[in-house]
Amino acid sequence: MSRKMCVFAMMVLALALALVPSVHAEDPIRNFVVVQGLPDSIVAGRSYEVVFTFDSIAPEPVPFSFNLKATCEKAPLDYGEVLVNGFYLNGGNLLFTESGPAFFQIGETTLAARSSNELRIVLSTVINLMPGTYVFEIRYGTEWVVIPMEPTYAPPSDTTPPMISDVKVTNITETSATITWKTDENSTSRVEYDSSTAENKTLVKLHRIVLADLEPETAYLFKVASRDGAGNEAVSEEYSFTTLSPPPPNEVVEEVPANQIGYVVDASDLAGTKVTLDTVAPVTVTILRYEVNPHPGDPLPATALPRYVDVSVSDPDAVVWPIYVEMTYTSAEVGSLDESSLGIYYWIDGAWHRCSNTGVDMERNIVWAYMTEEEASGSPILIGGTPPPSPKPAEFVLSGLIITGPHGEIGEAWIEKSVAVVTINLLVTNVGDLEGSTTVDLLVNGVKEQSKPVTLAGGASTMVSFSISKTTAGTYAVKVGDLTGSFTVMKTPTPAAFTFTGLVVSPADVAPGAEVTVSVTVKNTGEQSGTYSAELKLDGETKETKTGTLAGGISTTVTFKVSSQAEGTHTVQVGTQTGSFTVTAPTVSIGLSPAYIAGILIILAVAVASIYILYKSGRLPLHNLLKSTP
């Protein structure tokens, strides 16, 4: 009898023993009653379930233990699954003697005595079974119930081996490969290759065996084999695969002499990285490229490029810090990222940190950093950027409040045909990045008059216009958001009308042709602005007309100049105002004052005296003068 068959038999006996009622009257668990037992014949590869009920007087949960003892030609070394109330009890390989009596402790469980009075034991996927004597023991508390059983052994009737199909080799690396295949029934999995064997005894239809510790660049021949629960085995034809070549070197190691200035360790081809440093002693610089992120559990910097490089210095004291590091990148790697924010990051203490002095040369596609000793001790380094700003949500700003009347008057409106119409305009701008919606409310004297919904894309603006009507004169306060203003509603003004008052004629008496000034006061007695016409008439004849514009209620003085050659009284008229002036010719009169007469006499006396003196001197021949006088 095979070991597998013996194990299965032991399981079956365990189930049967569980059905025997307790014989201890004082035991807290008693009166076991079989609800479902084992069949007379037990066949390997099938599942069996034993169900029994019991009475419980235990005040606390009661632990159960299940043991299986078997005496077989050869004790089993493998087994199927044993479940008690849905829980697996056996979880490892059984260790039995090669022959003779064998002992197998299936496991333990605890049942709440009052919450469940049913026990289900399942033997599933039994691999093999052989004849023998089995004893199943149940212990609850300190009491044992021993149930002997000898089940009838039924040899398997299945003699057809599994059918193998769809053999594949996947995940080939330098040192491993995965072999998969299918069978038409549950069976074991085994791969025979290069004088070695890899095996899994679990009965499945989809098989998967991973071959490890292989040699790189090596061709392997293999076969797959599967054995069903009845012991029928199938072996495939021979297949082959070749492991991959080992990867090329991924590091540059360079010995740098002492007292170097600006020494360059160039790993551009390997890792896209250069290190420039000064030394005071010999030192080894290593630049290593990682194929994958060595710290996948730690969040990467924003916009990190998937290239991981380690820069290590064998003796930090041999280097003048900081060292200069350059890492290259391609435009394709950057894509739509914010290239200007790139810098070198280093990993240390479970997190990524940006170098304190780092930047980017976008013309050369190079990210650089002057790395301190602490920064260079982190591993690895990579190129990353600062997080791109999150799109700003929609935010609306109101501006440019303008209030106009029906004819464009700013802040004023006249009642026309019993109503005044006022228009309120303002600009709404979405200063955010995302599209959004808002409602613009118009409040007049603190009361909401109208509302308008607005939807705008980020950065867009639109004009919002309200039109309201008022029938009562007065001043109204307007508020839209934080914007405030006002408007005044006025009754329709009376039309312009002009009066003339206060006519003044100056002077009243003049000589012929002299100018006379005529002034008059003109007043607009209406409420609307208007143009007046002031006409000056002289003796009923229009001499001059003057016009002008006056706002409602405003006065002005209009002045004319007039003259006449005709003597007499002349009438002037402006509007309803009249006046007059008189033209008089001047009279001729000679009036000699005593001083004037005295002056003349003195002149005559001087003249006579002069003539006499000339005569006496002979210089004036008077007698000739007298003769010549007619």
Domain ranges of the chain: 3-153, 164-242, 253-384, 396-490, 498-583
The CA-CA-CA angle for residues 500, 503, 509, to 5°, reads: 160
Alpha-carbon Rg of the chain, whole angstroms?
A: 63
What percent of the chain is modeled with pLDDT above 70? Answer: 71
- One-letter amino acid at 173 equals T
The CA-CA-CA angle for residues 516, 522, 527, to 5°, reads: 170
| 55-99 confidence digits (pLDDT tens) | 655 555 555 555 544 444 443 433 344 444 444 444 333 333 333
pLDDT higher than 50, residue 107: no
Residue 94 has a pLDDT of 33
Yes or no: say if 75 and 96 are a contact pair by the CB < 8 Å rule.
Answer: yes
Would you place residue 123 in the very low, low, confident or very high pLDDT band (cuts 50, 70, 90)?
low
Across 84-98, 274-288, 562-576, 585-599, least confident range: 84-98
Yes or no: say if 235 and 214 are a contact pair by the CB < 8 Å rule.
Answer: no
Would you place residue 142 in the very low, low, confident or very high pLDDT band (cuts 50, 70, 90)?
low
Q: Which residue has the higher pLDDT, 530 or 100?
A: 530
What average pLDDT does the segment 220-237 reach?
Answer: 92
Q: Same fold for the domain at 164-242 and the one at 498-583? A: yes
H or E element that contains 190: strand 177-193
Q: Kindly give, in sequence order, each residue whose CB lies less than 8 Å from that of residue 333, ignoring residues fewer than 6 positions away.
A: 305, 307
Q: Collapsing DSSP states into helix, strand and coil, what is residue 458?
A: coil
Cα separation of 30 and 197, whole Å?
A: 51
What average pLDDT does the segment 132-139 reach?
Answer: 50
Q: Which residue has the higher pLDDT, 167 or 69?
A: 167
Residue 56 has a pLDDT of 58
How far out from the chain centre does Cα 329 lie? 27
CB burial string 5-37: b at 16+ within 10 A, e below: bbbbbbbbbbbbbbbbebeeeebbbbebeeeee
| 395-445 confidence digits (pLDDT tens) | 999 999 999 988 777 877 776 777 888 999 999 999 999 999 999 999 999
Residue 153 has a pLDDT of 44
With CA atoms as reference, report the closest residue to 425 among 464, 483, 454.
464
How far out from the chain centre does Cα 234 lie? 61
Q: Which residue has the higher pLDDT, 306 or 117?
A: 306
The token pair that represents 413 in the structure block: 């409106």
Yes or no: say if 426 and 483 are a contact pair by the CB < 8 Å rule.
Answer: yes
Q: Burial of 600 by CB count in 10 Å (0-12 exposed, 13-18 middle, 19+ buried)? A: exposed
Residue 450: CB atoms within 10 Å: 14
- Omega cis (within 30) before 322: yes
Phi-psi map region of 316: left, alpha, beta (phi>0 left; psi -120 to 50 alpha): alpha
What average pLDDT does the segment 112-126 reach?
Answer: 49
Q: Which residue has the higher pLDDT, 110 or 324?
A: 324
What percent of the chain is modeled with pLDDT above 90? Answer: 50
- Fold of domain 164-242: Immunoglobulin-like (2.60.40)
Would you place residue 516 in the very low, low, confident or very high pLDDT band (cuts 50, 70, 90)?
very high
Cα separation of 5 and 395, whole Å?
A: 78
CATH of domain 3-153: 2.60.40.2410
What average pLDDT does the segment 582-610 reach?
Answer: 75
Would you place residue 32 in the very low, low, confident or very high pLDDT band (cuts 50, 70, 90)?
low
Cα separation of 482 and 241, whole Å?
A: 78
Residue 622 has a pLDDT of 52
What Å distances lie between residue 377 and 143, 280, 312, 317, 582, CA to CA? 66, 19, 7, 13, 120
Residue 491 has a pLDDT of 79
Domain at 498-583, CATH from 3.40.50.1480, 2.40.40.20, 2.40.30.10, 2.60.40.10: 2.60.40.10
Q: Which residue has the higher pLDDT, 563 or 93?
A: 563
**Most distant CA pair in the chain: distance in Å?**
215
Would you place residue 20 in the very low, low, confident or very high pLDDT band (cuts 50, 70, 90)?
very low
What average pLDDT does the segment 552-562 reach?
Answer: 93
φ, ψ of residue 341 in degrees (nearest 5) = -95, 0
Yes or no: say if 416 and 423 are a contact pair by the CB < 8 Å rule.
Answer: no
Residue with tokens 């607009």: 524
Q: Which residue has the higher pLDDT, 18 or 491?
A: 491
Yes or no: say if 336 and 361 are a contact pair by the CB < 8 Å rule.
Answer: no
Query: Could you tell me the sign of the dihedral formed by the alpha carbons of 82, 84, 89, 94, in that order?
Result: negative
pLDDT higher than 80, residue 172: yes
If you count DSSP H runs as helices and E runs as strands, how many of each does the chain have, helices first? 6, 44
What average pLDDT does the segment 594-609 reach?
Answer: 78
Cα separation of 447 and 452, whole Å?
A: 15
Q: Report the relative pairing of strands 152-153 and 41-42 from DSSP bridges.
A: parallel
Q: Report the relative pairing of strands 436-444 and 474-480 from DSSP bridges.
A: antiparallel
- Give all strands (DSSP E) within 445-497, no chain letters: 447-456, 461-470, 474-480, 483-490
What average pLDDT does the segment 325-346 reach?
Answer: 88
Q: Collapsing DSSP states into helix, strand and coil, what is residue 235?
A: strand
* Strands laid side by side in the 420-430 sheet: 396-404, 420-430, 461-470
Cα separation of 129 and 156, whole Å?
A: 9
Cα separation of 188 and 180, whole Å?
A: 12
pTM above 0.75, yes or no: no
Cα separation of 577 and 203, whole Å?
A: 133
With CA atoms as reference, report the closest residue to 504 among 559, 438, 562.
559
Would you place residue 296 in the very low, low, confident or very high pLDDT band (cuts 50, 70, 90)?
confident
Q: Give the chain's mean pLDDT.
A: 79
Residue with tokens 């003249």: 607
H or E element that contains 10: helix 3-17
What average pLDDT does the segment 119-136 reach?
Answer: 49
Cα separation of 329 and 327, whole Å?
A: 7
Residue 394 has a pLDDT of 94
Cα separation of 595 and 603, whole Å?
A: 12
Helix, strand, coil fractions of the chain, as percent rounded to 5: 10, 50, 40
- Fold of domain 396-490: Immunoglobulin-like (2.60.40)
- Give all strands (DSSP E) within 212-318, no chain letters: 219-227, 233-235, 239-242, 251-256, 263-267, 273-279, 283-290, 308-313
Residue 514: CB atoms within 10 Å: 13
